[in-house]
């Protein structure tokens, strides 16, 4: 759309196109610019930036990562980081929306479901599972049930590489998504991340139970992971 107006009132777009009769608003001339919706980064490990920049202060490193996202049009992100409170603090200083929360290990579930709001209105709690094999089955089942009852999303990294997938199969006698289905833990509150190597019957379960799926092509390319997930069939 060219030669158009955008009126934003209290954080909401109230008019788009030819807008008349609006007075008392601050005006921004975007004649030489393009206005586009912001992007969301569906999965990121912000603390990995500590490995690639010469910055020893975790908070400053997070600020650099978040400013880089903001500079590229990203206004919301979902992280899988251990020290999630520092992530939220850094996001708050820039004004980005953020989903973050603890990573489930083998502690009592109470430590995962008593998530603080952290005093930031653009923060939404989320729980992460970085490695299904590292979580005791009893802890996994009880935690997920409690979290789902509290309407909190859970992101689980599964089937990233063929080696990881076959190792899971060897230990659990099931493929990762197949395992979640058998445990009755797959739903639309579950977010499957890094999902590359899945069987045809697991794909059928994804279509049926409708968990959300996040693929990470850039990260996987850096890690020399071959192959692409069946994106068309996911939809």
pLDDT tens-digit profile of 116-172? 667 888 999 998 999 999 888 888 888 888 787 788 899 999 998 888 999 999 999
Domain presence at residue 1: yes
pTM: 0.81
Q: Is 8 part of any domain?
A: yes
Tell whether 178 is covered by a domain.
Answer: no
In a domain, 10, yes or no: yes
**CB neighbours of residue 217 within 10 Å:** 12
Residue 234 resides in a domain: no
CB-neighbour burial class of residue 52 (10 A; exposed 0-12, middle 13-18, buried 19+):
exposed
Q: Is 19 domain-assigned?
A: yes
**Which pair of tokens denotes residue 94?**
């820039």
How far is Cα 58 from Cα 47, in angstroms, rounded to an integer? 8
Residue 3: give the domain boundaries: 1-35
Cα dihedral 123→222→193→215 (10° resolution): 100
Asked if residue 165 is part of any domain, the answer here is no
Sign, Cα dihedral of 179, 230, 208, 193? positive
Q: Which of 221, 170, 171, 228 is nearest to 198 (CA)?
A: 228
The pLDDT tens digits of the residues spanning 90-126 come to 999 999 999 999 888 876 666 655 566 678 889 999 9
Share of the chain above pLDDT 90, in %: 43
Plot region of 196 (φ>0 → left; ψ -120 to 50 → alpha; else → beta): alpha
Mean pLDDT for the chain overall? 86
Tens digit of each residue's pLDDT (9 = 90 or more) over 13-46: 999 999 998 988 999 988 888 888 889 999 998 8
What is the distance in angstroms between the CA of the first residue and the CA of the last residue of the chain? 29
Domain count along the chain: 1
Asked if 157 contacts 80 with a C-beta cutoff of 8 angstroms, the reply is yes
Report how far Cα 8 is from the mean position of its chain's Cα atoms.
27
Alpha helices in 150-230 (DSSP H): 162-172, 176-182, 200-209, 217-222
Could you tell me if residue 27 is inside a domain?
A: yes
């Amino acid at each position: 759309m060219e030669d158009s107006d955008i009126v934003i009132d209290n954080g909401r777009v109230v008019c788009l196109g030819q807008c008349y009769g609006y007075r008392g608003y601050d005006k921004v001339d975007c004649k030489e610019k393009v206005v586009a919706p912001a992007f969301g980064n569906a999965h990121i490990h912000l603390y990995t930036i500590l490995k690639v920049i010469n910055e020893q202060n975790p908070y400053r490193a997070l600020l650099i990562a978040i400013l880089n996202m903001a500079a590229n049009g990203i206004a919301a992100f979902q992280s899988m980081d251990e020290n999630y409170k520092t992530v939220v603090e850094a996001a708050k200083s820039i004004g980005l929306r953020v989903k973050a929360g603890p990573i489930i290990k083998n502690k009592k579930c109470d430590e995962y479901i008593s998530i603080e709001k952290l005093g930031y209105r653009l923060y939404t709690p989320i729980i992460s599972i970085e490695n299904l094999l590292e979580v005791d089955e009893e802890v996994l089942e009880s935690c997920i049930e409690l979290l789902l009852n509290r309407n909190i999303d859970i992101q689980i990294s599964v089937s990233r590489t063929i080696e990881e997938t076959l190792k899971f199969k060897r230990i659990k006698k099931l493929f990762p998504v197949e395992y979640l289905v058998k445990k009755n833990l797959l739903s639309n509150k579950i977010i499957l991340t890094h999902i590359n190597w899945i069987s045809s019957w697991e794909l059928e379960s994804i279509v049926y139970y409708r968990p959300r799926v996040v693929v990470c092509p850039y990260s996987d390319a850096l890690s020399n992971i071959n192959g692409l997930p069946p994106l068309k069939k996911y939809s």
